[in-house]
Structure 1
Amino acid sequence: MEHPRITILPDHIANQIAAGEVVQRPESVVKELIENALDAGAREIAVFVRDGGKSLIHVLDDGCGMRREDLELATVRHATSKIRSLEDLQRLATLGFRGEALASIASVADLEIITRQAGDEHGWKLVCQPLKPQRIEPTDCPAGTQVIVRNLFFNVPARRKFLRSDTTELRYISETMIRYGLSYPDRSWTFHDGRGMVFQLQPQPLLERIGALFHADIAGSLIPVDHQTDLVRIEGFLGLPSIARTTKASQYLFLNHRPITNRALAHAIYQGYEHMLEKSEHPFFVLFIWLDPERVDVNVHPQKHEVKFDDERAMYHAVLEAVLQSMRQHELIPQLRVKQVESSAPLIAVPNSGGAPLVVNRLTGEVIPLQSPPTLPSSPGRPRSSSYQLRTEQPQWQPATSQQLASILAPASSSAVERETFPEQPRMWQMHNKYIFVQTDDGIMIIDQHIAHERILYERALDALEHASADRSQRLMFPVELPLNAREIAIFRELAEDLQRLGYDCCLHEDRATVEIRAVPTEIRPGEEATSLREVLEQYAEYQTIRPASARDNLAASYGCRAAIKAGDPLSVAEMRRLVEDLFRCRTPEVCPHGRPVMIHFALRELDRRFGRTS
């Protein structure tokens, strides 16, 4: 058998391979073309798309334009005007630099570039199609550059097949437009989706730009950040805890204008919010980091979102200090730590002439002998040592099954102890407004009330999406308006029909970027009409990226998660009983839509074993 020979791939195949990394979806094309426009010094940028960018992407700018000689090289791989040497690569001042984008786009779509430099009598038009020679001809056009991309992935059916719906692809493009609109508030931006104007923004201060892209209540709930060290300058805005979101969708971090993601810096921001947010809450922030380009490597990922700093630790502490400083200045956290009070650390060690030290509770006077000197905490919240040796053996927890419903709802035992000591004790009770304890014939079942309700609503939502029902909706006496940004409008359009099946009756007013809510599902509690819809939209967008399921399944899971009762909600005995009954009517009551257990069962025999009982 003859071994295959090593050969150099033809350019069109190499370009398509490169396109797989650079051009993943229509949003990738929009991103690359916007970055080219910004690098060309554009002050006004307009983006028009049709069919979610699949059939048309048209980007116009008033940048410096190109000469004919430059245009001829524009679609050649690794042809770029942005770097000339290794030193340029080490201190990048532009968003693009590899010279791959236009070559990659030209290999998977029909490409047309129209450009003119200011002062030239006429411009030039380049027409490029895969596997065909490009042609250039003179044309009349305004100064600047227009790039028109048609029929994306028409020659790569496998790639086109994996694109999402038009509305989903439009949502990704909308998010990119918001990101660059925030990164460059001093530029004019126009965004049209083929059906109407999504937004049109004039140069404005950052705070006004945030208000224009989101809504007034967001802009009015921000605190400024302005922090500088010898290494870095950090500025922007942080959201108050009152506008914390249920997902990470509204978090924007920029490095020298470049949108980036960095887990360490995100952790530093969250650390600054410590104890002010619940675990399920995520802060809103728009932060800019200005750093010497030589101290960061942006050539890490094909999409150029990830970066590496030469001093990660210093960057982490700089961002953390910037957040804390802003919090202190606006009195969200105390500037000085108060002296530790006795109630937070009541135990002190006292020498004992008998040899073994004593621990004294300063509040009660109780003396606790220890076998060895204790390690006392220096601040609240750290674990204290204990003389008690806890057994490490864990109880035998077992998932409960729907077959136990009969025993759960069976008549209560009539033992003498129950009759005399607890004559009216219910068989269900709530602990910490979070868990429901249910006595069964052979032990105790513990149910997480939020996850249980989430499971119930998830299955109800799935049924409603398959079989629309009018009785799922409750009409509001007074409609509620919910302002949406471009990304949220795209999500709403995508889900409009299915939201109606769930029980929402909404009307989108695109002229003022709001949704009028006229009816909501029966499970939505009064006062939560607007927040429930916003949270469902946000959760759906997140699930679409991390949860491998159908769009309807993700919508049902989003609705279940956001409309369910929460940990901390008190329930009456009747409400608990109804919740348990509804849970065991579910097809799969044992787990939530994400796979977490809804309930656990602690067998009576395990309790007997723990207490040393033999009968």
Structure 2
Amino acid sequence: MSDIIQLLPDHVANQIAAGEVVQRPASVVKELLENAIDAKATRIQLLVKDAGKTLVQVIDNGFGMSVTDARLSFERHATSKIASAEDLFQLNTKGFRGEALASIAAIAHVEMKTKREADELGTLLKIEGSEVTAQEPIVTPVGTSIAVKNLFFNIPARRNFLKSDQVEMRHVIDEFQRVALAHPSITFTLHHNGNTLFNLPNANYRQRIVGVLGSKANEKLVPVNEETEIVKISGFVLKPEFAKKSRGEQFIFVNDRYIKNSYLNHAITAAFEGLLRERTHPGYFLFLEVDPKTIDINIHPTKTEIKFDNEHDLYAIIKSTVKHSLGQFQIAPILDFQRDPNLDTPYSYQSKNIGTPTIEVDSNFNPFANEKPKGTSSSGNYGGSSYSKKSTEGWESLYVGLESKMTGNLEQSNIVEVESEEVTGSFFEDKEVTQNHITLQIQNKYIISKIKSGMMVINQGRAHERILFEEFLQHITINEAVSQQLLFPVTLSVSPQELSLLSTIREVLESTGFIFSKLEDETVEISGVPAAIGNQEVGIIISDLLTAVVNETEIENELHTHIVAKSLAKSLAIKSGKALSTAEQEDLVNRLFACKEPTISPTNKSVFITYNTTDFDKKLL
């Protein structure tokens, strides 16, 4: 029997490795940016076309490479960062596996231009599917420029799994922001299809965060600083009132490397206990510096997961540090049970001398000095005051017209009695009508309605969501939404990414009744809203809408209407706990069954369940 185990060809092995390293265009962005940082670049440009599917190009002014290094960099496991296994536990650089460029070159067309400062000419290298097609000397600036074109050109199946341009570009921006936040001393620029999305100059941590999130982010930041033998913590947390329903603004960096760690995330959230609204998450930008010997980075191909030797100690330190910062900057109350605030000296008296209080007594004071003496007289004086009896002449005039007034009052009282009888009659009629109602609300959450076969239990919140969802879809389709003009326009501050997203769905929002008078310079001014929205709800609804759009796994142009309608319906639907009158209950039931899909909510959850009378018979046997 012949042998069946064989070695894989190099191009197949590279494609398999690429599946671990390169999952989407954002993966290429991450690897190329980290290589530029390791080359000690001070200025890095990222150029993207079609969300990275057509082109991802990174241009830096770093050290550059020689002709030999340029060629070796595309070989598997070729790296300048490590020489022995012990070096894996002393890593201070980004890329060290030596897999990135080889994996990228196996599934794309790669063109690299590089030049060292000491060389007169640079090197041009072209690779297609791991095969070198050209290598020649060229004139190029000092540094390296790598252009990755037509990603997954030789693996159509992988290319088909890529999402829409908007989703892929969101992942590219996420990777760009993570690298840019960790290295504020480097100038970063991002261009997509010829448009400049980010231009981040050399700055400190606070300025870099403001550059990424927008100018309004500066007032949201609370500094965090602590240094211990285990870890040095610096960075910022966002004030609790700016917590969001998504986790988009949560960044933890360890030795200038972005990581994902749910355990440390929980430590930060625990420090905000009692300060956050329900179902919201805090925002933070924390930078940790630890000894490289105490962490293991080499446990995941993307190097975003790190194993700590002393994770429990880090948890306690981070939680205490964040809680201390919130208290120090008067975000959270500080409790000191040993101090009595009543004993604190007022600020205005702190510099005054303490004197002994004195008591002064007026010896000449007589409380009875001004009292008038009481006189006793039988001729009209009573208790010291004169009393004169009034004349009783003409007393008959007091009764003139009294009989007519009494008659009139009696007539009016008879009229009142007749009216009360009429009102009482209508009251009994109303009571008789209410006995014919066929709905009942239970625990201000469910509506029970009578049907021929038994009864139906309706979730009032999901039912209202379905009703509003179809109404908004209809408004968007026929563009006949009712809009109410605001007396004072509502102004919202958004990040550049949120502003770009709002610009994309602006037309759909205007079809639902929103009117935007300004949409630029990180500012959104809304002068009109749908009739069902109040002024105070505009900011929350727009924030929830952006969160819903960002969190969608698939965003296509034809689905924008569904995403907007679903988000608005969820925000405006009545919630559990709201009491409804009988008329409101019946109106909700009637409108629900006028919908096209009354059985499920916009989030694909059941709206109602039915019970047959036979079910009750079985239970009551």
TM class by shorter-chain length? Answer: 0.7 to 0.9
Alpha-carbon deviations, 1:25-46, whole Å to 9, x = none? 1111111111111111111111
Instruction: Kindly report which structure 2 residues correspond to 1:222-237, keeping only aligned pairs within 5 A, or say none.
Output: 222-237=221-236
Alpha-carbon distance between aligned partners in 1 of 2:517 and 2:31, rounded to the nearest angstrom: 34
Given the alignment of the two structures, is residue 583 of structure 1 paired with residue 582 of structure 2, yes or no? Answer: no
Q: Is the 8 A contact 2:125 2:132 kept in 1?
A: no
| Residue matched to 2:573 | 564
Deviation of 1:251 after TM superposition, in Å, equals: 1.3
Given the alignment of the two structures, is residue 435 of structure 1 paired with residue 434 of structure 2, yes or no? Answer: no
Deviation of 1:77 after TM superposition, in Å, equals: 1.1
| Residue matched to 1:540 | 549
| Residue matched to 1:470 | 480
| Residue matched to 1:528 | 537
Q: Is the 8 A contact 1:33 1:59 kept in 2?
A: yes
Cα separation, partners in 2 of 1:217 and 1:426, compared to 1, 3 Å: farther
| Partner amino acid, structure 1, of 2:302 | Q
| Residue matched to 2:495 | 485
From 452, 468, 472, the equivalent of 1:457 is 468
Alpha-carbon distance between aligned partners in 2 of 1:292 and 1:170, rounded to the nearest angstrom: 35
Deviation of 1:572 after TM superposition, in Å, equals: 6.5
Alpha-carbon deviations, 1:212-261, whole Å to 9, x = none? 22234332022111123321122211111211112111211211111111
Q: Is the 8 A contact 2:105 2:129 kept in 1?
A: yes
Q: Secondary structure at the match of 2:264?
A: helix
| Residue matched to 1:161 | 160
Q: Secondary structure at the match of 1:65?
A: coil
Structure 1 residues 11-20 or 586-595, which shifts more? 586-595
Alpha-carbon deviations, 1:453-509, whole Å to 9, x = none? 3333334445556x3432255555665454433432453455445445544455885
| Residue matched to 1:60 | 59
Q: Secondary structure at the match of 1:173?
A: helix
Instruction: Kindly report which structure 2 residues correspond to 1:90-109, keeping only aligned pairs within 5 A, or say none.
Output: 90-109=89-108
Deviation of 1:435 after TM superposition, in Å, equals: 2.8
Q: Secondary structure at the match of 1:133?
A: strand
Gaps of 5+ in 2: 339-427
Alpha-carbon distance between aligned partners in 2 of 1:49 and 1:167, rounded to the nearest angstrom: 13
Alpha-carbon deviations, 1:556-601, whole Å to 9, x = none? 4334334434567776666555444433434444543445454578
Given the alignment of the two structures, is residue 112 of structure 1 paired with residue 108 of structure 2, yes or no? Answer: no
Deviation of 1:437 after TM superposition, in Å, equals: 5.2
Q: Is the 8 A contact 1:111 1:129 kept in 2?
A: yes
Q: Secondary structure at the match of 1:470?
A: coil
Alpha-carbon distance between aligned partners in 2 of 1:35 and 1:603, rounded to the nearest angstrom: 64
What is the identity percentage for the equivalent residue pairs of Structure 1 and Structure 2?
A: 38
Structure 1 residues 322-331 or 521-530, which shifts more? 521-530
Alpha-carbon deviations, 1:132-163, whole Å to 9, x = none? 33432222222111111111112211111222
TM-score (norm 2): 0.75
Q: Is the 8 A contact 1:182 1:210 kept in 2?
A: yes
More helix by share: 2
Q: Is the 8 A contact 1:453 1:579 kept in 2?
A: yes
Instruction: Kindly report which structure 2 residues correspond to 1:356-505, keeping only aligned pairs within 5 A, or say none.
Output: 435=445, 438=448, 449-463=460-474, 467-471=477-481, 473-474=483-484, 476=486, 480-492=490-502, 494-505=504-515
Alpha-carbon distance between aligned partners in 2 of 1:446 and 1:525, rounded to the nearest angstrom: 30
Structure 1 residues 182-191 or 485-494, which shifts more? 485-494
Q: Is the 8 A contact 1:170 1:490 kept in 2?
A: no
Aligned CA RMSD, in angstroms, stands at 3.7
Alpha-carbon distance between aligned partners in 2 of 1:51 and 1:553, rounded to the nearest angstrom: 24
Alpha-carbon distance between aligned partners in 1 of 2:32 and 2:40, rounded to the nearest angstrom: 13
Q: Secondary structure at the match of 1:31?
A: helix
Structure 1 residues 5-14 or 556-565, which shifts more? 556-565
Instruction: Kindly report which structure 2 residues correspond to 1:12-411, keeping only aligned pairs within 5 A, or say none.
Output: 12-130=11-129, 132-336=131-335
| Partner amino acid, structure 1, of 2:469 | Y
Deviation of 1:186 after TM superposition, in Å, equals: 1.9
Q: Is the 8 A contact 2:114 2:123 kept in 1?
A: yes
Deviation of 1:318 after TM superposition, in Å, equals: 1.9
| Partner amino acid, structure 2, of 1:592 | S
Deviation of 1:272 after TM superposition, in Å, equals: 1.4
Alpha-carbon distance between aligned partners in 2 of 1:566 and 1:546, rounded to the nearest angstrom: 27
Q: Is the 8 A contact 1:255 1:291 kept in 2?
A: yes
Q: Secondary structure at the match of 2:552?
A: helix
From 589, 592, 610, the equivalent of 2:601 is 592
Q: Is the 8 A contact 1:175 1:487 kept in 2?
A: no
Alpha-carbon distance between aligned partners in 2 of 1:419 and 1:492, rounded to the nearest angstrom: 52
Deviation of 1:199 after TM superposition, in Å, equals: 1.7
Alpha-carbon distance between aligned partners in 1 of 2:154 and 2:143, rounded to the nearest angstrom: 30
Cα separation, partners in 2 of 1:85 and 1:564, compared to 1, 3 Å: farther
Alpha-carbon distance between aligned partners in 1 of 2:337 and 2:569, rounded to the nearest angstrom: 43
Alpha-carbon distance between aligned partners in 2 of 1:576 and 1:3, rounded to the nearest angstrom: 77
Gaps of 5+ in 1: 340-415
Q: Secondary structure at the match of 1:137?
A: strand
Deviation of 1:268 after TM superposition, in Å, equals: 1.3
Alpha-carbon distance between aligned partners in 1 of 2:66 and 2:306, rounded to the nearest angstrom: 33
Deviation of 1:188 after TM superposition, in Å, equals: 0.9
Q: Is the 8 A contact 2:164 2:555 kept in 1?
A: no
| Partner amino acid, structure 1, of 2:183 | Y
Count, aligned residues? 528
| Partner amino acid, structure 2, of 1:557 | K
Alpha-carbon distance between aligned partners in 2 of 1:3 and 1:459, rounded to the nearest angstrom: 66
